[in-house]
Structures are given as structure tokens and as C-alpha cells.
Amino acid sequence: YCPQMYRNLRLFLLLPNSDLLADAFVWTVGGECKISPVSSLRRCRTPDGLICSGRGECECGICICQVTERGTFYGPRCECHDWICPTYDGKTCGDHGICKCGKCFCDENWFGESCQYQEECSLSSKTSKDLCRTAQGVVCSNAGTCHCGSCMCHNPDGKSLISGRYCECDDSECLDEDSGEVCGGHGKCYCGNCYCSAGWHGDKCEFQCDISPWESKRRCTSPDGKICSNRGTCVCGECTCYDVDPSGDWGDIHGETCECDERSCHVMYDRYSDDFCSGHGQCNCGRCDCKEGWAGKKCDHPLSCSLSVEASQKRCRGTSSLYSNCDCNKTGNLTGNLIYLTSS
């Protein structure tokens, strides 16, 4: 029961990735819209000029979509999101149907959520089973039956937890033990892995983020304006950097926003090697600070050379007389432009 002063009070949270983020909240008090009709229609208008994509009504700047087909999905302006249609073997609607607003409409003689099953089969029993075998030779991973070369996965409980081309995906691994829901009801499961909705994180999407998506994005933005420097993922305002060191220590990519990339400190990159800056310097957030007597981006050029000019050129030349721009480093090897070189 709501007190009188709060009746007819509605809060609309607009979806991210729209141009409405500047006006994230729209209030109607006592049933009266607090924005002008022009502004309301502007918020509901799609780039092609339609109001709510022609599939809904605009109410105080918010599109109320008309859902005519169960299982269809719409965006914030009732636009179709065809990219969320189910796939089979990596193909939208199994290549045997068309996607309309997130739902597959199958071609004649095909059926299934992803139009993956053929009604009339022209394949022999052997050919059909061979097409249903995994790389290990198991038909439908022992979790389904083969129908005309396609696996029909066993899901007696109706939850569709078993899926995949060969029924190889068991999404029961995504079930939250406490709630019993897939990904805790806060995400989607793809082949045993949870992909959480905005504001949730954890293996089963069990943890709620206590900051807004916009604040999370702000905290993850690196000095160059990129999310986690394009070298990691942002979860609840914290960056998880790619390329984690197998030893469990810091990886070559680190920093609060993954801004440090120490791979650039290697002469030749080897993730298992700690040989930074040619052994003549220290790597500081992707930049070599050279020891005294050494210079260069990788600290690979000596400031002074103990070899004579003749000895240096001889070491650069090897068995060939063709070389150019010979420079001396710690081993006397060629560091300039080589025309032709064979080692002695």
C-alpha cells in the first residue's frame, strides 16, 4: 500500500547505450508528465523518424512496446534486436529461418527454437548418427537423441539446461545453489558460463554491484579515455586485465586501469621471461629506465664501446663483406641496417 503522496509516482530507468543517458530518470507525479510533448516525442523517435519504431506508444518519453508475439524482444525504442536470436552451430536460426525481434521463424520443413531440426529426413540412419557424433565418437554426448543429423537434447524438466550442437553444454553448472535460478536470475548462461547483467558479477552473478553502470565505467576509464585501456574487462568499477601471468604473480599487463603493458619492455616477447630491457634496465609501466651506460627504448645500445672500430666492424661482418650502419652493442652484433649477413 502506498501513501497518497506517492501514488501514481513512477520511475523509469532507461537502458544503457542510448542517447538518453543525460536524462536518466523521468518522473510523473500525480499522473502528469513533467516534460513537454515535444521533448517526449523526441526521446521516443528513432533515427528513421518513427515513434517507438512503429511498434508502441510514447508515454512521457518512454516507449511502451506492443508485444504481439511471445518470445520477441525489443529495445528501448521498440526496435528489433535480431542479434539475440538463438543460434545453432554458430548460425542464426540454424540458417533455416529468419529472425524477427529475437525469435526464429523457420523455413518450411524445419522446426525447433533455432530451426535446427528437419521434419522430413532424407538421410540414412548411419549418416544421421555420424553427423551427431562428437570428436570422441559419442552420439549427442549421451545427453540427447539424434534426429536427422541434429541432436535433440534431453531436457525433461523444461529448463533447457542441456544444449549445444552435440548437447555438450550443461548449463546446470550455472544454477545458483541458493535460489536455484540460472545465473541467480541476473544473467545468461552460455555453455556452463554465466554472463551477468549490468550491476551483477560473480561466477553465478550472485554479487550485486553497489555503484551505477556509469560510475563503474568512470572508474574503469584509463587516462587515454579507454575502458581498462582496451586491455581488460570492467566489473563493478574494477578492471580485470588480460594476460594473467601463469605463475600467479602480476601479469605483463597491470595497473588500476590496465594502463601498464610491460610486453613493450621485452626485446623479443616471452610471457615466461623476466628479461626486461635487455637486462640493462628496469621496466616501469611499459617504459624502460636504463642503467648508467645504456640507452635506447629497450636499453640495448651502450653509450660507450670497448671494441675498436675495426673489431666492431669485423664482428658485424661475419663471413660477408656486405653490411651498413654497423653499431656496437654488448656483443658487437650489428644493430643498424643489414644488407646481407652470414654468421661465422
CATH 2.10.25.10 range(s) for the chain read 84-169
| pLDDT for residue 185 | 85
Do the beta carbons of residue 136 and residue 144 sit within 8 Å?
Answer: no
Architecture of the domain defined by 4-65: Ribbon (2.10)
Q: Taking the CA atoms of the chain, what radius of gyration do you get in angstroms?
A: 31
**pLDDT tens for the chain, residues 1 to 344:** 333 333 333 333 333 333 333 333 344 444 578 888 998 899 899 888 889 888 888 988 888 887 666 666 677 788 776 666 778 877 888 899 998 877 889 999 999 888 988 888 889 999 999 999 999 999 999 999 999 999 999 987 777 788 888 999 888 888 888 888 888 888 888 888 888 876 778 888 888 888 877 888 899 999 889 999 888 888 888 887 876 444 434 457 888 898 888 777 877 655 545 677 888 888 888 789 998 888 888 888 888 777 777 777 777 766 555 544 555 544 444 444 433 333 33
For domain 84-169, the CATH superfamily is: Laminin (2.10.25.10)
Beta pairing partners, 283: 288
Residues 119, 330: Cα–Cα separation, whole Å: 73
Residues 214, 197: Cα–Cα separation, whole Å: 14
DSSP letter, residue 256: T
